[in-house]
Chains A and B, each alone.
Chain A
Amino acid sequence: MARVRQLHVNGKDFQIDVDGERSLLSVLRDDLDLTGSKYGCGEGQCGACTVLVDGVPIHSCLATVGGILRRKVTTIEGLEMDGRLHPLQEAFLKTNAFQCGYCTSGMIMSGVALLQKKPNPSEEEIVAGMKGNICRCGAYQRIVAAIKEGAKALQQGVK
């Protein structure tokens, strides 16, 4: 089985030596101790494992680490810059857009990807863009508000 020896995550090259068939999620969590991305279903239904690969949101539970190659992976741990939260992280705090928080990493990563594509999304666009993410605590209305808030902050250049 092909081994994977390097992974680029959050701006850093990690030297690893793992079976390429392993899921990206398990390597991030178990080998790199980046546990912000969560296992929720293993079938790409809940979005808790969402990370960005070259800026595109993917389900890291379904991606094999062998398929990532040299592409750039961004996880929730990579959003904070010099101790400053990403505006969308701030927006989640401001709107209390979570309860247990287990879906939050995936929600924020999906939200970041959405805002990259649509900097000023309508409510319908947020709902459509986020429907692959489940919040079992049901904080959907707040998450929509957080994404609107985050969009506003990003557009105003608040960093």
Chain B
Amino acid sequence: MNTPETSPISLEPERYELHAAPLYHFDLGRREFFKVLGCGVVVLFLIDAVMAQESGGGRRGGRGGQRPAEISAWLHIGEDGAVTVFTGKVEVGQNIRTSLTQAVAEELRVSVDSIRMVMADTQLTPFDAGTFGSRTTPDMGTQLHKVAAAAREALMDLAAEFLKVDRTSLVLAEGRISGKAATETVTFGQLTKGQKLLKSVSDKSAATPVDEWKVAGTSMPKVNGREFVTGKHKYTSDITRPGMIPGRILRPPSFGATLKSIDTKAAEAMLGVTVVHDGEFVGLTAPNTLVADRAVEAIHAEWTTKPQISSAELFDSLKKNAKASPERAGSAEAGTVADHKLQQTYTVAYIAHTPLEPRAAVAEWKDDKLTVWTGTQRPFGVRGDLAQAFGIPEERVHVIVPDTGSGYGGKHTGEAAIEAARLAKAAGKPVKLVWTREEEFTWAYFRPAGVIDVTSSVSNDGTITGWEFHNYNSGGSAIRSPYDVPNQKTEFHSTSAPLRSGSYRGLAATANHFAREVHMDELARVVKMDPLAFRLKNLKDPRLRAVLEAAAKAFGWGTSKAPDGHGFGIAGGTEKGGYVATCVEVSADRKTGSVKVLRAVTAFECGAVVNPDHLKNQIEGAMVMGLGGALFEAIRFENGRITNPRLSGYRVPRFPDAPAIEVVLVNRKDLPSAGAGEAPIIGIAPAIGNAICDATGIRLRSLPMVPDGLKEG
């Protein structure tokens, strides 16, 4: 049985993401499309259509030009004129259900209400590698613009034919196409009736230029917002199936522990309890969750544990076990000629995503077919995991992802799905498994811890002359400095790490920016320059300069000195196509040790803005989340156990922690839209650290910076 503790995922999450899965060769012919979707107009988006054509039968599975390869999305306009869009992307609170709907509404000139977005259903939507890496907006957003634009053009052709008028005289608005005369008007439904029109588009297809957007680019409210404020939306943990019973898993006392002996008699004697013991997997089902909890407690198990390193030894261990790096960039030695040299080490703790909805799954077997509802960012990946775990073909596994109670990169895997399916198989009934908070804190995966060594040199006039940067374990994304340094060497070192790690919102970029932007602040102090002026002196990138200047302006940087006991800090950077700069004001009390972030201003640029208010919401949220990792979030562990696996022991930001936040959007309509789920998180930690130093003179180089309050460094 493929349990999470025996199959840790890669420790280099960014690379893991990029190579998440091969492209699926979709095997649906024209006839099947209309059998499934009904008559109408279907437009497919083909990834790299040229490649698909050239590669011929092998890739397409034969039968000439009928079978499209590597479809990433499709759109259907039915005989009733209803527009349905199918995408494998997952809604986890980033509001892509809304922004993708806007893209379609924009091109088809229909109201947002008339568009249904079918997402993340392995039986209905085309293959998608997953929702991560801030790729939905640049990839799926662009593709849906093109798909919907092609559908619009097809409808215009049909309308010209239908109305027998010149196509150029036609106008499309509010779901109908009209000619010059009042009688010349036709609805989508009239045009699609009896049609079996299949079109495909590729990356080269046209879409409405950004400066002509009317729906995209506006602050459309969340499309299904009412479902959330009324409690009606069904998350995975809210789904019920006929005869469904809850499940629970017996967890080992520490990572890697194996069963020595087990006695399940007392649990099995409880009314309605079924225990499943399959290798290292022990779980049970019960009539309700209270009985399930009692039954798990009634199991007597002895375990063989193995000694493991603890939090206190973490950073030494990461460096000691580092492997030679394949990711070597630059060769010059830092500081060959310099007025000042600086060498510092920065560390980053393991932290937990802590999605408020813990991992959950509902599994149901019917005639050897498995259906699983689960909150994952990789529905097709989880389908593969399930198929493998149960030795059945993927065609017999159906994964459905309801809009999920957040992920932040923490829900790439499908442990709960596999566990629920194993229990459901044994129980002969649908099973719901909702991980406890403690399970979520222990058996999910963490943002990797890391150590970063920086050596630099700077001349008296504030020019950086050398830069050497070594990241151990926390990842290579955004490891290169965006500043102009002639002699730059950066290196990522993989190492063996004690805890299971994986993707996280702005994962490596957060660590690399923390080290880099704090170090920049330190260098500015060495040469007695203003931290903003020092950055600008060493920076050509106009996009990064623009956000630094915008944030500084909104914050009032340089216009006054921080009051006593307060400090100002600034930091900036770029990640996944987004440019970010954050300024903060903190109050820090050396006597009481209290640190409070009072206000924070972030300027952000990610090309053309798709939905200004949702973008602001993402940026505000990223800043608050980043504040947690900056100040107090840390997973503590000892000998294979997490010692703070509860919200009472793992502090996340709450209302009193949130600063007054101001967001400045730099809207570059001339640039393609980039994703924004991750990049806005990278500036807040170094900005806070720099502000604490400004307030107190205490330089903090470890995330989290003040888990137990401010201490004299």
Contacts and interface: CB of A to CB of B under 8 A. Distances in A.
Task: Place the interface of chain A in its size category.
Answer: 35 or more
Contacts of A90: 229
Given A96-B222, A136-B354, A102 B235 contact: yes
B646 interface: yes
Given A38-B356, A127-B656, A131-B655, A138 B622 contact: yes
B570 interface: no
B290 interface: yes
A127 B655 contact: yes
B238 interface: yes
Secondary structure call for the B interface: loop
A100 B406 contact: yes
B269 interface: no
B489 interface: no
Contact of A21 (B235, B290, B618): B290
B655 A100 contact: no
A85 B230 contact: yes
A93 B405 CA distance: 17
B238 A35 contact: yes
Interface in A97-138: 98-105, 108, 126-128, 130-131, 133-138
B577 to A, nearest CB: 21
B617 interface: yes
A142 B225 CA distance: 15
Nearest to B663: A141
B681 to A, nearest CB: 10
A48 interface: yes
Interface string A20-47: 0111001001100111111111110110
A30 B95 CA distance: 28
B601 to A, nearest CB: 13
Interface string A64-99: 000000000001110110000100011011001011
B531 interface: no
Nearest to A137: B621
B658 A138 contact: yes
Contacts of A45: 646-648
A134 B647 contact: yes
B221 interface: yes
B102 interface: no
Given A38-B356, A45-B646, A100-B92, A92 B229 contact: yes
B246 interface: yes
B25 interface: no
Interface string B342-375: 0000000000001111100000000000000000
A108 B617 contact: no
Contacts of B646: 41, 43, 45
Secondary structure call for the A interface: loop
B660 interface: yes
A62 interface: no
A138 B621 contact: yes
A149 interface: no
Given A104-B229, A139-B620, A23 B238 contact: no
A22 B290 contact: yes
A133 B657 CA distance: 12
Contacts of A23: 289-290
A155 B231 CA distance: 24
Given A100-B406, A101-B228, A102-B405, A134 B233 contact: no
B418 to A, nearest CB: 21
Given A35-B231, A39-B237, A136-B354, A131 B654 contact: yes
A41 B231 CA distance: 18
B623 interface: yes
Given A93-B229, A96-B221, A101-B233, A140 B658 contact: yes
B550 interface: no
Contacts of A135: 356
Contacts of A75: 231
A46 B404 CA distance: 17
A145 to B, nearest CB: 11
Given A30-B246, A30-B288, A102-B357, A93 B617 contact: no
A140 B647 contact: no
Contact of B93 (A21, A37, A100, A131): A100
B137 interface: no
B6 interface: no
A150 B622 CA distance: 25
Given A108-B229, A138-B624, A139-B620, A103 B658 contact: no
Contact of A96 (B92, B227, B617, B624): B617
A92 B225 CA distance: 9
Given A130-B655, A137-B406, A98 B228 contact: yes
A136 to B, nearest CB: 5
Given A43-B646, A89-B229, A142 B617 contact: yes
A143 B656 CA distance: 12
A134 B231 contact: no
A139 B621 CA distance: 6
Contacts of B660: 141
A96 B92 CA distance: 15
Interface in B229-285: 229-235, 237-238, 240, 246
Given A39-B434, A43-B437, A103 B356 contact: yes
Contact of A93 (B226, B238, B404, B624): B226
Contacts of A141: 620, 658, 660-661
A67 to B, nearest CB: 14
Given A35-B238, A43-B646, A30 B289 contact: yes
B208 interface: no
Contacts of B625: 136-138
B498 interface: no
Contacts of A26: 288-290
A7 interface: no
Nearest to B231: A36
Contacts of B621: 99, 137-139
B231 A77 contact: yes
Interface string B634-675: 000000000000111000111110101100000000000000
Contacts of B622: 138
B356 A40 contact: yes
Nearest to B290: A22
A108 B648 CA distance: 22
A29 to B, nearest CB: 7
Interface of A: 18-19, 21-23, 26, 29-30, 33-43, 45-46, 48, 75-77, 79-80, 85, 89-90, 92-93, 96, 98-105, 108, 126-128, 130-131, 133-144
Lowest 9 A-B CB distances belong to which pairs? Answer: A36-B231, A100-B93, A138-B624, A102-B405, A101-B228, A76-B231, A35-B238, A99-B93, A138-B621
20 contacts: A23-B290, A34-B231, A35-B234, A37-B231, A38-B356, A41-B647, A42-B437, A76-B230, A89-B229, A93-B225, A100-B93, A100-B356, A102-B235, A130-B655, A131-B654, A136-B354, A138-B620, A138-B658, A140-B653, A142-B620
Given A43-B437, A101-B228, 17 more contacts: A19-B290, A22-B288, A22-B290, A35-B237, A39-B358, A40-B356, A93-B226, A96-B225, A100-B92, A102-B405, A127-B655, A128-B656, A131-B656, A134-B652, A136-B652, A138-B621, A141-B658
Interface of B: 92-95, 221-222, 225-235, 237-238, 240, 246, 288-290, 354-358, 403-406, 408, 434, 436-437, 613-614, 617-618, 620-625, 646-648, 652-656, 658, 660-661
